Amino acid sequence: MPLNAKALGEALHEDLILHSTLCRRDAGAFQKAIQTGDDVVVACTQEQRLFGDLDQQTAGAVSPIRFVNIRETAGWSRDAAKAGPKIAALLAAARLPDPPPVPTVTYKSAGRLLIIGPLDQAEQAATLVSDVLDVALFTQGPGNAGGAQARRYPVLGGRITALTGWLGAFELQWKADNPIDLDLCTRCNACVAACPENAIGLDYQIDMAACQSHRACVKVCQVAGAINFTRDAAAQTERFDLVLDLRSATATPTFLQHALPQGYLRWDGRDLATLLRLRELVGEFENPKFFVYKQKLCAHSRNETVGCNACVDICSAEAIASDKSRQRILVNPNLCVGCGACTTVCPTGALTYAYPGATDQGLKFKTLLSTYAAAGGKDAVLLLHSQERGQALVEELGRAAQLKLAHGVPANVIPVALWHTANTGVDLWLSAVAYGASQVVVLTTHEEAPQYLDGLQAQMDVAQGILRGLGYTGTHLQLLRATHPTGIDAALQALGQTRQKTPAVAARFAVAQEKRSTLEMALEHLIAQAPMPVAERPGAIALPALGSPLGTIEVNKDRCTLCLSCVSACPASALQDNPQLPQLRFIEKNCVQCGLCATTCPENAITLQPRLLLTPERAQLRVLNEAKPWACVRCSKPFGTVKAIEAMLDKLSGHAMFQGEALERLKMCSDCRVIDLYSSQSETKVTDL
């Protein structure tokens, strides 16, 4: 790699000494560094294990060590000679502190494994893991060869009715509806030989569709008494820590979601890596609790009316459920896989990504982009990818470039590994553009669920609409789909063919943990630095209806009765009443376009209008509708509106319970209504006396 120690040192504000073989001949320099107590960054991930061993073997080693890959991501490329600014940026980001710890989710597995599938395949799999796992089998037919004659593992049979749970807490429910009791069966094979229809397989279960009720099997099984056609199909339940499913995922799927529960694995009979992974899932494990939920910000439901359902719809693990009776969602942390897609599409910030949080992720983006620019880099592109398949693709591309088979990662493309590609959204993307990124590219592979791709694209369309409306020409946000290094290589080279307009001055704000706060700061900077002159800007930028967290509402004044049910439903205080006058008021900046107001309105008088208003009125309280107040016919105190009271009188005038004095009381305020009713009852009693 062509490394310039002086230039890198200037960019990082330090004096650097370049060691070309730090993992071999110059290992002493590494050992000396880790004895200082200062943070140590090792710019090599290939020899990470070796450096770890050296750390353990070095007396007095106290320094925290972090690793960063500058080889495949920068040095191994045809642009390597120009990659100095990117290398400086990667080194600077690697020195950032680790995110603060968050609450964890604990899984406890004692290694009790359930294998579901044809008996012969299930027994074959069991032999490969039974030395470390406690195995039980659930037969789904005999398979091609049938099961072994020796009973080495408990075998369950019948019809599975439910399988739920996660690592350490799976619950199997089934009905033992087969005439052969596997606990009593001795596998003597007499019933198999006696059955004239060949309806009994070597899993010792009867195919009831083939059975013709000759009952020859019952006669030959009198000693064991394992066969009983009159036995009730008892419902049974048992718990397991792990599940290995040998059935075809398309033929008889147990879990339909894209992200399977932890501890549930499918095996095709060939991939030994699956079984090796299974053997490791014994003990106690902890995962970060990836999300934080704030119910008071949630726009999911009010008064059992559903508004925003974005998180429920996009979750590929089916970890989020609606609880509209309590005006909230329920997130199961044991099923959550930490993809963050729910936080990306949440318009209010009720769901936020916790590890790393938005503040830490924003600091990383800011550090990368500011260091890159300070080192002389131009047209920075952030390439966001997953830490698994996405990371592997980038490294494969670097190795292909070293072998002259590919161009490699361009000098202006800065790879950034995420836990999952779905955990960043419009707030962080626009912040990155405000910090100076010319483009933000999200690399997706086969890992992502289809709904993730749709959700990311919808968010990108909103962000791109804002940028274009402000005069930032070009394509700043792109969803890149690739499964092979050649695909990503061609796509990355194409990025440099167009130029994107970026803010003249990079932003300095720090990303907040609250999504709306970050979005507002990014918008404020982008509007202030917009290339389009103020005089030429539209009053508002129209945004796509799908996924927009910004906009206004339109109220049909002919339909609206100012019942104010929309005010009580609004989770963001965008809609407000006026205690002094019958008015419906609105602050557009607060509106999250959740739609609760529209679904709650009994008159269907409200429609959503996604947009970004560019005038000062966006942050000001404005009146959407108002009406003349109705004056109480008894005390003249105003209450309600003329329109609402007249509508009520019109609807109830023909009702038997609202005639004469009862109808007249509807024209009174609540106090006078009680007084009039009490006075009427008193007069009736005096008359009776």
Structure tokens at 147: 């099961």
Q: What is the DSSP letter of 239?
A: E
Predicted confidence at residue 499, as pLDDT, reads: 86
Query: Which H helix or E strand runs over 551?
Result: strand 551-555
Predicted confidence at residue 687, as pLDDT, reads: 57
What are the pLDDT digits (tens) for 620-674?
999 999 988 888 999 988 887 888 888 888 888 888 888 888 888 999 998 999 9
Write the CATH number for 574.
3.30.70.3270
Judgement on whether residues 271 and 321 belong to the same structural domain of the protein: no
Domain extent, residue 611, equals 542-626
pLDDT > 90 in the chain, percent: 77
Cα–Cα separations (whole angstroms), residue 193 to 7, 198, 199, 659: 84, 8, 10, 86
Closest CA to 324 of 342, 346, 299: 299
Predicted confidence at residue 510, as pLDDT, reads: 97
Number of domains comprising the chain = 6
Predicted confidence at residue 66, as pLDDT, reads: 93
What are the pLDDT digits (tens) for 674-685?
998 888 877 666
Among left, alpha and beta (phi > 0; psi -120 to 50; other), residue 547 is: left
Residue 251: band (very low, low, confident or very high) from pLDDT cuts 50, 70, 90: low
Mean pLDDT of the chain: 92
Write the CATH number for 327.
3.30.70.20
What are the pLDDT digits (tens) for 397-416?
999 999 999 999 999 999 99
Predicted confidence at residue 479, as pLDDT, reads: 96
Judgement on whether residues 475 and 558 belong to the same structural domain of the protein: no
Of 238-252, 306-320, 408-422, least confident by mean pLDDT is 238-252
Judgement on whether residues 617 and 556 belong to the same structural domain of the protein: yes
- Answer yes or no: pTM beyond 0.85: yes
Judge whether 434 lies within some domain: yes
Structure tokens at 367: 């550090």
Predicted confidence at residue 614, as pLDDT, reads: 96
At which of 303, 334, 353 does a domain end?
Answer: 353
Judgement on whether residues 576 and 493 belong to the same structural domain of the protein: no
Cα–Cα separations (whole angstroms), residue 287 to 107, 188, 236, 320, 513: 8, 48, 32, 18, 21
Judge whether 81 lies within some domain: no
Judge whether 678 lies within some domain: yes
Please report how the helices 515-528 and 450-469 are oriented relative to each other, as an axis angle in degrees rounded to 10.
30
Predicted confidence at residue 253, as pLDDT, reads: 66
Judge whether 620 lies within some domain: yes
Query: SS3 letters for 613-650?
Result: ECCHHHHCEEEEEECCEEECCCCCCEEEEHHHHHHHHH
Judgement on whether residues 176 and 325 belong to the same structural domain of the protein: no
Predicted confidence at residue 685, as pLDDT, reads: 60
Judgement on whether residues 235 and 120 belong to the same structural domain of the protein: yes
What are the pLDDT digits (tens) for 352-405?
999 899 999 999 999 999 999 999 999 999 999 999 999 999 999 999 999 999
Pairing of strands 477-481, 439-444: parallel
What are the pLDDT digits (tens) for 412-454?
999 999 999 999 999 999 999 999 999 999 999 988 999 999 9
User: Is the pLDDT confidence value at 250 over 80?
Assistant: no
Residue 348: band (very low, low, confident or very high) from pLDDT cuts 50, 70, 90: very high
Residue 566: band (very low, low, confident or very high) from pLDDT cuts 50, 70, 90: very high
Judgement on whether residues 396 and 463 belong to the same structural domain of the protein: yes
Q: How large is the average pLDDT for residues 269-279?
A: 91
3-state secondary structure of 466: helix
Max Cα distance, the chain (Å): 116
At which of 600, 626, 652 does a domain end?
Answer: 626
Residue 310: band (very low, low, confident or very high) from pLDDT cuts 50, 70, 90: very high
Judge whether 529 lies within some domain: no
At which of 47, 67, 87 does a domain end?
Answer: 67
User: Is the pLDDT confidence value at 291 over 80?
Assistant: yes
Judgement on whether residues 275 and 170 belong to the same structural domain of the protein: yes
Residue 297: band (very low, low, confident or very high) from pLDDT cuts 50, 70, 90: very high
Judgement on whether residues 132 and 272 belong to the same structural domain of the protein: yes
Of 230-239, 253-262, 275-284, 445-454, least confident by mean pLDDT is 253-262
Judgement on whether residues 257 and 114 belong to the same structural domain of the protein: yes
- CA gap 5, 228 in Å, rounded: 82
What are the pLDDT digits (tens) for 154-174?
999 999 999 999 999 999 999
- Paired with 228 in beta bridges are none
Judgement on whether residues 376 and 510 belong to the same structural domain of the protein: yes
Judge whether 87 lies within some domain: no
DSSP string over 112-153: EEEEEE-HHHHHHHHHHHTTTSEEEEEESS-TTT---SS--S
Judge whether 77 lies within some domain: no
Closest CA to 160 of 175, 143, 150, 141: 175
Judge whether 82 lies within some domain: no
Judgement on whether residues 214 and 314 belong to the same structural domain of the protein: no
Pairing of strands 155-156, 40-42: unpaired
pLDDT > 70 in the chain, percent: 98
